[in-house]
C-alpha cells in the first residue's frame, strides 16, 4: 500500500462562506457513512510519496463502435483532475484520451446540480430538476442509454464504489422524483436485467421493512452473488451481483483495487459478439471533497485513474470500444493554489461544502471519440451515446 503523508501546513481559512450552499444542497445521504463524522487530520497541503505507473496507449484508427465504457468520476472537476496530475508527478492515465470536451452541469431548477440530476442527464440525455432519477423536468420517465444498449442485445454492467442504490448507478435503471427512497431504488435491480452489478449498499437489500431479501431474489433469477472482493477473480460467468459493503465501500487506500478488479472482470464476462455497455463510477472523489479531505479524494481519483488505465489497455487491443471519462459535477470548490510536480505536492483551498457549478471535462478514446469534442450541455453526453448505440449494426 502506498504511503502518504498528510501535512498540516496552514491555518484553515475561515469566513470564506461566499460560495457556501444551503444545507439542502449538501449531499446528506453520505452522512450515513461511518466515515462521515471521523476526524481525519487533513491539512491544506498534501504530498504523494510514491507515484503509480501510468500506461500509454496508441489512438484507435477504426470507426466501428462495438462496446461503450462510460466512466464517471463523481465530483471530478478540472480542479480534481489537475491536482491528481500534479500529485502523480505529471502523469495520469486520462492523458491518453484522444478527444476532450466540456460539459455544462446546471439543472432546470438550480444552477448547481446533484448526482441525481447530473447523472440523469448523462444517462438519459435530458436536462432535469435537482435530485431526479431517470426522469425529465416534467416528471416523465426517460429511457437510459443502458436500456437502449439492452434493446440492441448488448450486455450491460454497472460498477461503483458507493452504494449501488445511490444516484449515479440508479440513474441508469430507475425512475424517481427523488433520490432519497433508497429501499425502492434498490428493489429496481431485481428486474433490471443488468449483467454485472457491483458496489456497496447491501444494507438496502436485506433486512428490509417490506420483508424482501433482494439478494435471494437475484440469486433465484440466476445471478451469482458475491460479498467478498476476493471472489471476483474466480468468477467465470454472469450475471453477477457483488455487494461488498453495508453502505459505501472503505476509502481507496483501505479497500484495495476492488474497482479495477470489478472493471476487469466485468469486461471479461460482458465481452460478446453483440457488444456491451458498462458504466464504471469512481464514486467517492465527491465524498471527500464534501469533507475537504484532499488526500482521501485524490486517492479515490487515483483508484479511478488506475481503473481507466486497465480499461484503456483493453480498449486499445479491442479496437472497437469507445471509452468516455467524465463527471457529473465538481465538488468542494477545490482550488489548486500552488504546489510542485517534482515533489508531488499541492496546496489547495476548498470554498464550499457542497458541489460547485463550473463546467467539467469529457474525455473520449476509441472510435467516435471525436463526437465528444466541444462545449455542450451534460445531456448531450447521453444523447451522443444514444445516437451511437442506435446506429450500431
Ligand atoms: Zn456530492
76-113 per-position pLDDT tens digit: 999 999 999 999 999 999 999 999 999 999 999 999 99
> How far, in Å, is the centroid of ligand 1 from the Cα of 375?
23
End-to-end alpha carbon distance in the chain: 45
What is the rounded distance in angstroms from the CA atom of residue 102 to the CA atom of residue 93? 19
Q: What is the DSSP string of 201-252?
A: -GGGTSS-TT---HHHHHHHTT-EEE-SGGGSTT--SS-EEEE-SSSSPPPH
Going from the N-terminus, what domains does the chain have, and what CATH number goes with each? 63-390 (3.40.720.10)
What per-residue confidence (pLDDT) applies to 180?
Answer: 81
> How far, in Å, is the centroid of ligand 1 from the Cα of 290?
7
> How far, in Å, is the centroid of ligand 1 from the Cα of 220?
34
What per-residue confidence (pLDDT) applies to 44?
Answer: 64
> How far, in Å, is the centroid of ligand 1 from the Cα of 227?
26
> How far, in Å, is the centroid of ligand 1 from the Cα of 320?
33
What CA–CA distances, in Å, run from 119 to 137, 173, 242, 273?
A: 14, 11, 22, 28
> How far, in Å, is the centroid of ligand 1 from the Cα of 2?
26
> How far, in Å, is the centroid of ligand 1 from the Cα of 359?
16
> How far, in Å, is the centroid of ligand 1 from the Cα of 297?
12
Is 115 a catalytic site residue? yes
Residue 236: burial class (beta carbons within 10 Å; 0-12, 13-18, 19+):
exposed
Contacts for 234 with CB less than 8 Å, ≥ 6 apart? none
> Are the C-beta atoms of 243 and 199 separated by less than 8 Å?
yes
Four-residue CA torsion sign, 85, 362, 160, 318: negative
Q: pLDDT tens digit string along 288-322?
A: 999 888 888 999 999 999 999 999 999 999 999 99
**Cβ-based neighbour number of residue 222 at 10 Å:** 9
> How far, in Å, is the centroid of ligand 1 from the Cα of 286?
5
Neighbours of ion ligand 1 (CB under 5 A): 27, 286
Q: Residue ranges of the chain with pLDDT lower than 70?
A: 1-44
Which residue is catalytic, options 29, 33, 103, 115? 115
Amino acid at each position: 500500500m502506498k504511503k502518504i503523508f498528510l501535512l498540516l501546513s496552514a491555518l484553515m481559512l475561515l469566513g470564506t462562506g461566499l460560495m457556501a450552499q444551503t444545507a439542502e444542497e449538501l449531499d446528506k445521504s453520505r452522512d450515513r457513512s461511518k466515515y462521515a463524522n471521523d476526524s481525519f487530520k487533513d491539512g491544506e497541503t498534501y504530498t504523494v510519496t510514491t507515484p503509480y505507473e501510468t500506461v500509454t496507449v496508441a489512438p484507435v484508427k477504426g470507426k466501428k463502435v462495438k462496446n461503450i465504457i462510460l466512466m464517471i468520476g463523481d465530483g471530478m472537476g478540472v480542479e480534481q483532475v489537475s491536482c491528481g496530475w500534479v500529485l502523480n508527478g505529471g502523469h495520469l492515465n486520462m492523458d491518453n484520451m484522444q478527444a476532450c470536451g466540456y460539459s455544462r452541469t446546471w439543472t432546470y431548477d438550480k444552477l448547481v446540480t446533484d448526482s441525481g440530476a447530473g447523472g440523469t442527464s448523462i444517462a438519459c440525455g435530458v436536462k432535469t430538476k435537482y435530485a431526479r432519477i431517470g426522469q425529465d423536468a416534467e416528471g416523465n420517465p426517460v429511457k437510459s442509454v443502458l436500456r437502449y444498449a439492452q434493446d440492441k442485445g448488448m450486455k450491460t454492467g454497472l460498477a461503483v464504489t458507493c452504494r449501488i442504490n445511490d444516484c449515479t448507478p440508479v440513474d441508469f435503471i430507475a425512475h424517481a422524483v427523488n433520490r432519497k427512497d433508497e429501499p425502492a431504488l434498490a428493489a429496481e435491480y431485481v428486474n433490471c436485467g443488468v449483467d454485472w452489478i457491483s458496489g456497496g449498499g447491501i444494507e438496502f437489500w436485506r433486512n428490509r421493512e417490506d420483508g424482501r431479501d433482494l439478494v435471494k431474489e437475484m440469486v433465484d433469477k440466476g445471478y451469482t452473488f458475491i460479498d467478498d472482493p476476493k471472489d471476483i477473480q474466480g468468477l467465470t460467468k454472469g450475471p453477477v451481483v457483488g455487494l461488498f459493503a453495508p453502505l459505501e465501500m472503505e476509502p481507496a487506500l483501505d479497500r484495495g483495487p476492488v474497482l479495477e478488479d470489478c472493471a476487469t472482470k466485468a469486461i471479461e464476462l460482458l465481452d460478446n459478439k453483440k457488444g456491451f455497455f458498462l458504466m464504471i463510477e469512481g464514486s467517492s472523489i465527491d465524498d471527500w471533497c464534501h469533507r475537504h479531505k484532499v488526500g482521501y479524494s485524490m486517492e479515490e481519483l487515483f483508484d479511478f485513474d488506475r481503473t481507466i488505465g486497465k480499461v484503456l489497455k483493453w480498449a486499445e487491443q479491442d479496437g472497437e470500444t469507445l471509452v468516455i471519462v467524465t463527471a457529473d459535477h465538481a465538488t468542494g470548490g477545490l482550488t489548486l493554489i500552488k504546489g510542485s510536480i517534482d515533489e508531488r505536492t499541492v496546496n489547495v483551498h476548498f470554498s464550499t461544502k457542497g458541489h460547485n457549478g463550473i463546467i467539467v471535462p469529457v474525455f473520449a478514446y476509441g472510435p467516435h471519440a471525436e463526437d465528444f469534442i466541444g462545449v455542450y450541455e451534460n445531456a448531450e453526453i447521453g444523447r451522443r451515446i444514444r445516437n451511437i448505440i442506435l446506429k450500431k449494426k
